[in-house]
Amino acid sequence: MSASRNASIKHALGLKQILNHEISDTQLASHKATIGVALLYTVREFDEKDIETVLDIISEAFTDEISRGMPTPTAEKIIEGVKRSGFKWFVCETKERGVAGFLSMIEGGLEHPAQIHLVAVKSEYRRKGIGKALIKRAIEHAKNLRINKIKVFVRPWNTSMRKVCAELNLIPEAYLRKEFLNENLILYVAFL
């Protein structure tokens, strides 16, 4: 473990024992296992080398939707979509294990809002801020394009995504009944 990472973990723990005394790696590992450590990651644009991991995340995150009729994305369709004008894909990459999540969006235009289509995170990385970081990046991208509105559709049962929307000041604009795969959706928007 690097000295700077060790120091940042010690700082994050905030324990008197750590502040006043040196702590062994064994004690530090025990504290890490107990309370967790901040995940280090970067959000960047999708690259074709990410395709296999993105397909794995899709098959894990959208198993139910695919079984009920959602078209299964293929590598060819994703790469074709990424190359089309007006579409953008981002991935969130962890320092230790590579791509942990992705987001796809339509960039929008002068009279059309940007729209986030898919957001998915590997199960072991959920509830660690990755989905939120991806949505923040999409909002930043839309702002840079001078788009004045962004929207995302969320299922009512997806409380994690609803919480992220609220934290990022996206507001519920509409409740759509039986809109996608015979499920209700909540349309969240942010004015940029």
Query: Each residue of 80-129: pLDDT tens digit?
Result: 999 999 999 999 999 888 999 999 999 998 889 999 999 999 999 999 99
| Percent of the chain surpassing pLDDT 70 | 80
CATH number at residue 122: 3.40.630.30
Residues 75 and 160 in one domain: yes
Q: In 122-182, where do the E strands start and end? A: 149-154, 171-180
- The one-character DSSP state at 54 is H
104 & 167 share domain: yes
Q: Note whether 25 and 48 are same-domain residues.
A: no
Query: How many alpha carbons lie under 13 Å from residue 49 in its C-beta half-sphere?
Result: 5
For the chain, what percent of residues have pLDDT higher than 90? 68
* Total domains present in the chain: 2
Q: CA-based angle 156:157:158, to the nearest 5?
A: 90
Q: Judging by DSSP bridges, how do beta strands 171-180 and 98-106 pair with one another?
A: unpaired
Helix (H/G/I), strand (E/B), else coil: 52? helix
Is the same domain home to 33 and 45?
no
Where does the pLDDT of residue 23 fall: very low under 50, low under 70, confident under 90, or very high at 90 and above? very low
> From CA 138, how far away is CA 48, in angstroms rounded?
19
| Rounded average pLDDT over 24-34 | 39
Instruction: Give residue 5's domain range.
Output: 1-38
In this prediction, residue 10 has a pLDDT band, given cuts at 50, 70 and 90, of very low
By C-alpha distance, which of 43, 4, 32, 20 is closest to 131?
43
Judge whether residue 151 has pLDDT over 70.
Answer: yes
Assess whether 12 and 48 both reside in one domain: no
Is the pLDDT at 163 greater than 80? The verdict is yes
Q: State residue 166's pLDDT score.
A: 97
